[in-house]
A and B are shown apart, each in its own frame.
Chain A
């Protein structure tokens, strides 16, 4: 992981406690959602957990011994979900897919890469899109399955791809 330049508030203890006063909390939500997006974009992180068992350095500052509890994580990530910058991966909201690029942008990235590689009309597995030799060094390398599936569903709805289940893996055909 590359060094990340954390903002000042990350070292100020009360920002790790949900603020009881509405105006202050709104400001807090603003700062955290901004930080989460920036952090994930720079670290190329995709999935965050709301469980406090997870010691993600984004939610736990060892230096000042403060961490975000589950309520705080749910609130900040929930705010991102409502803005279209994230998506819950399960209905218990344990895992959250952070979309530091909007889903449509991911879909466009996938589609234009496929065209560049001349792989329309051919069938690929979803995993090939993130770990195949063709995508090495591109933006899709290392993208999580969940993200690709969401992006592909969007392309399917736009008539640019079709998803089907293959042997143990999802397959996709682009048009």
Chain B
């Protein structure tokens, strides 16, 4: 089957491009994320890093190039030398396998923490409520919120909400987790709890792509670091090396401003 990439790759991007009207946001992204790898993406705002992340679970449509997740083209099916756009049902099925955490949490405010975590497994995957609730309680305990099971999002701090959001994504038992600036909307003192949960997740072997400004997290937890600017990957490599010895001038300029 031609559509299968190397089996150890979770995400594979080849010359991925995307534009909004006249604005070219992604100008040919090439990168690979292995199974179990934690990749951090840094870069100035407007560099296209969030857009790329949203392309991975088809919240945005790719205009050109090939973007593969777990050996399957995102949003398309390749067959007999042609590429077919997927039906909505198939897009939904594939999205259910990829978890996403947003900058502004996007918890469902009319549901309790536990309902937020169980609505996906029950309504999308068809699990029984009892089964989903049991795992939901375990997940909330894992992110340190065992006592907030029945709290509504409004009654939680930003850091607690983001941890519920992580538990909600994990409730679907994804094979890949995407984080879109998960700590950027948090008070500085609340960032640590969220990063601790993400660190634990990385140690458990989850494949993660993290768009972040937390250089410390990228250095200590990330297996690879990608610096994006102007819709292209400027530089990538082992985090410590990229951060200590950036080879590109643009990377140096960016790092000197934020470090």
Q: Do A and B bind each other?
A: no
